Structure 1
Amino acid sequence: MGLLSLLSENPLAFVVVALALVLSLAFHEFAHAWAADRLGDPTPRRYGRVTLNPIKHLDPFGTLLLLFVGFGFARPVPINPNNLGRWGTLWVSAAGPLSNVLIAVVCAVLLKLLPLTSLTLLILMTVLSINIVLAVFNLIPIPLLDGSRILGALVPSLGRSLAQFEAQPFSFVLVMVFIFLFSGQIGGIIRTVQGWVVGLIGI
């Protein structure tokens, strides 16, 4: 179900989820760009991606998918691995998921410390859940996701094969088909992690 279905059922929840998704995706991509910039790759700055401005990071097609399907993506940050080396590429790849883990940790702390109203609970739990989803999903080691690039940096021979696959024009379609076919298993993993985190917080 896409976000538009939520709009008619619960407008407030729609606004909270939409804003949380946009800002979390933007922060994820900003983290990639910032890490690459700090590690000596000027490519993200050249493309104006070292910014928290969501407009610079959102992908039109990925946003439409979010609205109508409930699954989408932001624009990948362009980097030049030759400027980063093996370990620099690993840290840049890991920066996105780590940024989502950081947001989730902040939300968890606020849930324990703040006096909770229904609105603050909705906002914090929504942001927490979305960032757990983004962190776990992006760490899956399949092509085009951060997890595959982390794995490729750890195993250079595999990284070269993954890079060659990603360069093919059909790679995006194949990955989308794979995600669709295994969406149940992927969702199960994400729900397990979400349940573990919520249980740990005690909410």
Structure 2
Amino acid sequence: MAKLSKKLGKCFPKVVANYLAQAGLQAYQMAYSFLDEKGLWLTERGKDLALNVINAYYDLNAKQLAEKGEIPFIFEERENEAQNCYHGLLVGADCKLTICHVQSAGQFPRYSIFRGNYSANNIEISLFEEDEEKIDDTMAYAILTHMGYDQIMQHARIGFPLKGQRKWAGNQLNIFDRAAIVETKADESKTLPIQKPRLKELKERLGDVLK
């Protein structure tokens, strides 16, 4: 039986997921560089700006990716229902996406009216095949959640929030996990022997550089 969660791979193939992860990594670097440069860490109020600055840079990086054609989305800026702030919205052929900071990996974002409205089509399907086809043709809504500490992004995931519920449709798509990267590197350093390349191999790799 097809499920809404299966659309994740279609909407966010690996190359798109990688671009969005990179946008987040850069957003954290850019945000903390800005805060350091302006000396905003010197006050508690300045520190409180950090998450807003990170989200703003994340939206900006995603906007630039869309404009360059690196990801198959159009970027729009939308005002919230209270008309007191804006959020970025990525609109693709099969789904929409917003970006949100959370306190821990896998956490569901705080409630907002606009997220609730966007998720109106995110419903669990029945056993009928015609309903499965409707899911494939429906514009779904996804949320990219990210979190970090020590001025570095640690996790980034994408998931479909179910309509009227504070839970995800199936598993989230894990697009970045710093712990997994560190663990992989540690394992590789233990198991992979370091071999010195032979002179012939060097010549084949470097060609005229050695001449």
User: Under a length normalisation based on structure 2, what TM-score does the superposition of the two structures give?
Assistant: 0.33
Q: Which has the higher helix share?
A: 1
User: Under a length normalisation based on structure 1, what TM-score does the superposition of the two structures give?
Assistant: 0.34
Q: Which has the higher strand share?
A: 2
Q: Greater Rg, structure 1 or structure 2?
A: 2
